[in-house]
Every structure is written in C-alpha cells, then in structure tokens.
Structure 1
Amino acid sequence: MKNDVIIIGGSYAGLSAAMSLGRAIRNVVIIENGKPCNAQTPYSHNFLTRDGSKPAEIAALGKEQVMKYPTVRFVTGKAVALNGEDLNFQVVLEDGQVFFSKKILFATGLKDLIPDIKGFAACWGISVIHCPYCHGYEYKGQDTGVLMNGAGVFEVARMIRNWTDRLSVFTNGPATLEIDQLKKLSEMNIQVEEREIDRFDHQNGILENIVFKDGSGTRLDALYARPPFEQHCSILKDLGCKIAGTGHVEVDEFQKSSIPGIYAAGDSTTLMRSVAAAVYTGNKAGAMINHELVAEGQ
C-alpha cells in the first residue's frame, strides 16, 4: 500500500502534522523510535494550556488524540534509508520493513553533543538548561551561570539578566570576548570566570556547586548552556538536502526542504527550540503537504 505521507519522528512536530493530515483524511504512517530529546526534562513550560506539564504527558495526550483519526497509524522502529522520488518514496526501517508513500515529513529533532564534564549530562534539561522562556521563570532571582565563550556570550548574558541579577559567565578557559563586551558585563555586575571546570555537583540533576580544576568551587542553582548539536537523523544529509549554517535543515516558509516531496518540521529546522514551536511547524507542514497533494491531483 502506498501511503499519502510517512512522518519520520513521532514527537510534538510529528504528532501535530499527523493531526492535520488525519483531519484531511490522508493515509499516514508515523515511524517513531521512542527517544525524544527532552526525555530527561521534568516539566515543559511556555506552551499554552499545558504550562508545567510533563513532556511525556503532553506527547501521550497528543498521541491519544491523533490515534482517533482512523487513517493514521504508528509504527515503532528506526528509519535507516529513504529511496525513490516525489510521489514514489520508499522508507526502509532497521528491522527490514519497507513503507511506501507519496510525501515524506522529517520530524526527527536534534541530538545534543554533551560536553565531557562530570555532572553535566545528569543535569541537562533539569537545572542545566537551554532556554529562559522554557525554564527561566523557575530559576528567577537564583544563582545562575552561563556556560559559553565567544562572540555570542554577551547577548545571552544580557538577556538572562532579565531573570536574575545573580549571574556569572563561565568560559571554561580563557575568555574570547571582545574588550568592550567584558567591560559592559562588568558594568552589569556579571562576573566572567575563566577557570576550567572539573565537575558539577548535584543531587538527582539539581545543581549545587560548580567545581573548578583547581579544587575551588562556587554555589550554583541553574546553568544555561548551548552545547553543539547534530541532526538526530542523518538521512536528509545523506540525500544531499541543504543544511543551513546553523546546522538546521533548510526549509522554506511552507516547511519544504530542498528535495521535492520532502518536508521537515520541529527542532531540526529552527532556532526556536520549544514544544510550542514544534507543534506550530508540524501543524503547518501537515497542512502544506495536504495542499500540495491536492494541487497534484492526489
């Protein structure tokens, strides 16, 4: 059977797209491996009607609602290859299953490349956080750090200061900020700490102290960090899809990739890395895919 759409990735963007397509009475297969990037995050914020909910609860409710549409079905597995062309794609799973569809939507997210600092991974998504809009309110007024170096540090630190004036920048080595930026940070009473970090002391992911390689340390409640990332699924890159300089999949205003018939949505496509943004781009992608199918007489 040739499906109308195969969605690779069944988290927020994939579910949102599936709902749009299910309501358009399209035959949809969602391929999901059950490994969301925010699995460790205890609560999700800044998403209207679900502020403070557990991410897994939001996803479970989304899946329950999507599954009410009889033309949508889920398949547990990992996509490892994509063959064919627009209106005639083949998706191959790791276990050998093959699915056919007219259009493809990638909603596979990003994979964070966690730095090799003891305690960082355990705290990631809990008290080591990436987005003040998602998590900053819960740490307002508390001892907070920014783990960054280079040109972007100044803007990030200036923004985070809106949530707390107890703020320090940790460059984990010699600072590479410009002189005038260092001066402005000092004027805002933001300390720049250049000592190399040995570990983060924590209790079940809740930060307590940052400890430097010289043995000294300082108390810390929260730390903002932006580790490098890569696409969670390499298929698009293998196909030669355009990847932006930021590392995101390059899409147009309709979520179309550079390859005809292939769309992308969610974290893999945007700097706005949040549940709300993923739901929005997925919803838009679903509608645009259906529009394209209608225009093609499908």
Structure 2
Amino acid sequence: MDKKEFEVIIIGGSYAGISTAMSLGRSLRDTLIIDAGKPCNRQTPHSHNFLTQDGSTPEEISKIAKSQLSKYDRVKFYKGLAVSGKRIKKGFEITTSKGDKFSAKKLVFATGIKDIMPNINGFSECWGISVVHCPYCHGYEIRNKKTAIIANGERAFHLASLVNNLTKDITIITSGIKNFDEKQLEKLRRNHIKIVEKEIATIEHKNGQLENVVFKDGSKENYECAYASVPFEQNSRIPEILGCKFNEHGHIEVNPMQKTTEEGIFACGDNSSLMRSVAIAVSSGNISGAIINNELTQEGF
C-alpha cells in the first residue's frame, strides 16, 4: 500500500471496526482498517439476535459488511497485524508485523478480546458451539436441553437465573467448593438447580457438540450443552502502550461516546464492553465513527 497517511486508523476489521469505517467512509474520511483476520467468534456456527442477520454465520455477516463497505473508496483495508504504536506530532503512528508504518490523526481500537480456555480437554473444541458464554446469543437454540453451567459464585448465580427461563434441567458445576450465600442457595433450591462441586477433567464431544462431562474422580454425566464463564485478555497491547486506562473487568475504559482516557483514541466492540454481541459491537462502532467525524470536522472547520 503506497498511501501511508490517513485521517483515521482502525485496528480490527470485524463488526465494530467495519461499522466505524462505514460511518467514516460515508463522511469522506480517509480511513485505514488494519485487520489480522482472526475474529473471536470464528468457531461459532451461527450468529443470533442481530436484526436482518439472525441465524447467519459470522463469516456471512462479515462478507456482506465488507462488500457493502467496499463502495466507499476513502476506506482502505490492510491485511496484517498491528504490533506497536506511538504518538507523533500529527497524531499516531502504527507499525505492523511486516514493518509497514501508517499514521493518522485519530486512532480506533476495535481489537476484541481473547478468551483464555481452562485446562479441560475438549473445552476449546466446544467453545462457541455447544459450550457458550451468553444466553442472549445462544440460549434460544439450546433451550429445553440438559444444561451445565461451568462457573461459581455470582457469575454462576446470574447465569442460572437467566438460563432458568430457557430450560428446567440445570446443573451448576463449580469445580470446587461452592461460593453462594444462603439467599442464593435458597433460590437455587427453589428452582431445582443442582450444584456439583467436582472438578472437570474432560469434555467428551463430537465435532464440538458436547456429550458428556467427565470429572476428575472418574465419574461422568451427560449434558447436551453448557454455559461457561472464562477469563479473557486484550487482543492488542497497543492501548496499554499508549496509556489507555482499563476498568476493573479488564476492558478498555470508554465514555458513552466510545472515547478512551487518551485524547484522540477510541475503542469499540468487545474490548470495551461487558455486553458481547454483534449488535452491540456494530452500535458502538457506529457511535465511534460519528464522534470521530464530528471531532475532525470541528478541528478543521
């Protein structure tokens, strides 16, 4: 790519990044998307709860989005990994793993997050298929099934309360001593939600479809699906390098306009929100694009 200077650089070309770019492209802003091509939901067979695309695969939605974005010729794509960034006099400079350098007045992180898989055989193969994180994204498709919740404490209790509306056969697997107060335990008992404190050794599955949970004591139990709460890390270290603050959950701290704590830097999508969904990622990207265009307009008017 010959062009090196842009008005805006967006790191991450999934839903939030493309949504940001569309707002900017429609406002005739010179925009570069740097994308490594590894969205976190690439293993998920279908995406749900997004108007007009309910049930489409993540790849199908992405292809349509990129195709529609391609008509805005002020938006350029660069396939590669952004590895470092720094402030410069006119804004920011981003360097890729190939050694290419690009600069822009504004910077957007739409980099997503990376889920950290537990040390359980078969877990990662089922993740996003039959072991899922969100009842809003996946719950309808696995309704009325024998369901495990692999979590403990407040997170497990919260998931159980939501999933209880979708199935009446729920077991919480705490993988250790349960961590619920008496009020929570009473609600779980009243709703006939079982608790198993044994640790999981293996998840038996066929092509990502959960069949059995095998415990470390050698016993096993059949489940058709599971919800799990797993830790995560940011996909990119550049926000930290540039001084962006993070909240107590580990997300990039942003205000309602998707501005980070660093002037000129925005973040949108999963990297800055507890609510992980395609619809919310698209919404946050749309906001960030509009606010960036307004800032550029006011600075140059």
TM-score by length of 1: 0.98
Matched, 1:267 2:263: no
**In the alignment, what sits opposite 1:173?**
176
Give the 5 Å matches for 1:183-222.
183-222=186-225
**In the alignment, what sits opposite 2:133?**
130
Aligned residues of 2:125 and 2:208 also touching (Cα < 8 A): yes
Give the 5 Å matches for 1:1-298.
1-85=4-88, 87-297=90-300
Q: Name whichever of 178-187 and 41-50 sits farther off.
A: 178-187
Distance in 2 (CA, whole Å) between partners of 1:199 and 1:85 is: 50
Distance 1:82 1:232, change over 3 A: same
After TM superposition, give the deviation of residue 85 of structure 1 in Å. Answer: 4.7
After TM superposition, give the deviation of residue 275 of structure 1 in Å. Answer: 0.4
Distance in 2 (CA, whole Å) between partners of 1:87 and 1:167 is: 56
Secondary structure, aligned partner of 2:21: helix
Distance in 2 (CA, whole Å) between partners of 1:21 and 1:86 is: 22
After TM superposition, give the deviation of residue 87 of structure 1 in Å. Answer: 4.0
Secondary structure, aligned partner of 2:68: helix
After TM superposition, give the deviation of residue 181 of structure 1 in Å. Answer: 1.6
Aligned residues of 2:25 and 2:75 also touching (Cα < 8 A): yes
Could you give the per-residue CA deviations for residues 89-120 of structure 1, whole angstroms, max 9, x where no partner exists?
11111111000111000000001010010010
Percent identity of the aligned residues? Answer: 50
Distance in 2 (CA, whole Å) between partners of 1:85 and 1:107 is: 21
Could you give the per-residue CA deviations for residues 49-92 of structure 1, whole angstroms, max 9, x where no partner exists?
00000001101110111111010110011111111257421111
After TM superposition, give the deviation of residue 127 of structure 1 in Å. Answer: 0.3
Distance in 2 (CA, whole Å) between partners of 1:193 and 1:238 is: 42
Q: Which amino acid aligns with 2:300?
A: G
Distance in 1 (CA, whole Å) between partners of 2:118 and 2:59 is: 25
Query: What value does the CA root-mean-square deviation take over the aligned residues?
Result: 1.1
Distance in 2 (CA, whole Å) between partners of 1:297 and 1:180 is: 58
Aligned residues of 2:86 and 2:242 also touching (Cα < 8 A): no
Q: Which amino acid aligns with 2:189?
A: S
Secondary structure, aligned partner of 1:276: helix
After TM superposition, give the deviation of residue 213 of structure 1 in Å. Answer: 1.2
Aligned residues of 1:86 and 1:102 also touching (Cα < 8 A): no
After TM superposition, give the deviation of residue 155 of structure 1 in Å. Answer: 2.1
Could you give the per-residue CA deviations for residues 118-138 of structure 1, whole angstroms, max 9, x where no partner exists?
010000000000011110001
Q: Which runs of 4+ in 1 moved over 3 A?
A: none
Secondary structure, aligned partner of 1:104: strand
Instruction: Report the count of equivalent residues.
Output: 298
Distance in 2 (CA, whole Å) between partners of 1:51 and 1:151 is: 30
Aligned residues of 1:86 and 1:262 also touching (Cα < 8 A): no
Secondary structure, aligned partner of 2:154: coil
Secondary structure, aligned partner of 2:67: helix
Q: Which amino acid aligns with 2:79?
A: T
Secondary structure, aligned partner of 2:65: helix
Distance in 1 (CA, whole Å) between partners of 2:187 and 2:259 is: 42
Show structure 1 runs of 5+ residues with no match: none
After TM superposition, give the deviation of residue 142 of structure 1 in Å. Answer: 0.5
Aligned residues of 2:11 and 2:17 also touching (Cα < 8 A): yes
Distance in 2 (CA, whole Å) between partners of 1:260 and 1:196 is: 46
Aligned residues of 2:85 and 2:241 also touching (Cα < 8 A): no
Aligned residues of 1:86 and 1:103 also touching (Cα < 8 A): no
Q: Which amino acid aligns with 2:286?
A: N
Secondary structure, aligned partner of 2:176: coil
